[in-house]
Amino acid sequence: MIEQVIQQRNLNKAYQKVCANKGAGGVDGMETPQLKAHLQTHGPTLIEHIRNGSYQPSPIKGVEIPKPNGKRRMLGIPTLTDRVIQQALHQVLEPVFEPDFQRHSYGFRPNRNAHQAVQQAQRNINDGYQHVIDIDLKSFFDQVDHAILLELVHQKVTCQLTMKLLRKFLRAPMQINGTLHKRRKGMPQGSPLSPLLSNILLNELDRELEKRGHRYVRYADDFSIYVRSKRAARRVGNRIYLFLRDVLRLPINREKSGIRRPSTFNILGYHFVPVFKKGARGQYQLVVSAKSRKAFKRKLKELTRKTISISFAERIRRLNRLIRGWLNYFKLANIHGKLQALDSWLRKRLRYCIWSRGLGRRNRNANGRT
């Protein structure tokens, strides 16, 4: 299998993918425009090191990024060279594991997306499964047990050099503020391998749910189970909690987990409200969650602040890109009324922005500064 990883066509495809993502540089400071020349010079040596098992990944750059709730999350950024090799490894491993993934897993898989996950959740609810076991895994990417994950991979991958390379990527230390920290569990968010490895591990959860005949939806580490009664929800929730704790060794966030009704349940930025129409009793439609609306409005405010030092044309270009992306993602929701109110609010913000910029220019002209 290692020969498939270092095959020139596979490496070229991985290089193109990494360049297209335009991510930040790692601990070596190399940026995307420098990558091609680096690989042309050092590529043959890197390939030989991978082939003979002596390749050693660089440390991972640890960067804290803010979360919407005010807390911070650690993002792990491998070097561009390591990202190319990880992407090449991902491209070889994915076809091996993809056929065994379960049907209600939607995250980071070919021809699967968040819209399908949301629509499946809506079908479950509208079919009468209206007690939702909403489980939040506590710092999932930081808690993954390497031994369990590697054993699951080894069930299908017998190439020792491939397993050795994967183990080295999992164990690569993280550099935070210039200090190296050993890693014996967890996967860095920001690694091309992390989405696939998370699906390999959590596929065990999917198989357990399928075996028990439960309705569920999983998107990466975000999953929910749908049952018909509160009593069943308590029973199923306790069993799944024990499975996560004892088999996968994954803790849950008790504060964010619980049994929900549709009107108190959010999934991937969507919320559910009853359909008030004759003959539609017990049916729910999709709307945008309050948290997603607030986040969108906050981004709009940032782009319409008069103090931003960009041209008005660039401001409009960024606004159009943001709005198009938001509308495309939330196209499943009933948002007509919200859009009308948002349009009126945005027009006022832009008119004030134009007026204030014009007033500033007139003041500067009056003072003889132009």
pLDDT tens sequence across 297-311: 888 888 887 777 777
Alpha helices in 23-133 (DSSP H): 32-52, 80-97, 114-126
Contact 185, 144 (CB under 8 A): yes
For residue 349 the two structure tokens come to: 């913000």
Look at residue 142 and tell me whether its pLDDT is greater than 50. Answer: yes
In the numeric block, which tokens belong to residue 148?
């369990």
At 4-18, the pLDDT tens digits run 998 999 999 999 999
pLDDT tops 60 at residue 59: yes
The model's pLDDT over 237-265, given as tens digits with 9 standing for 90+, comes to 999 999 999 999 999 988 889 999 999 99
The closest alpha carbon to 206, from 120, 281, 265, 143, belongs to 120
Dihedral sign (CA 242, 243, 244, 245): positive
Residue 63 bridge partners (DSSP)? 75
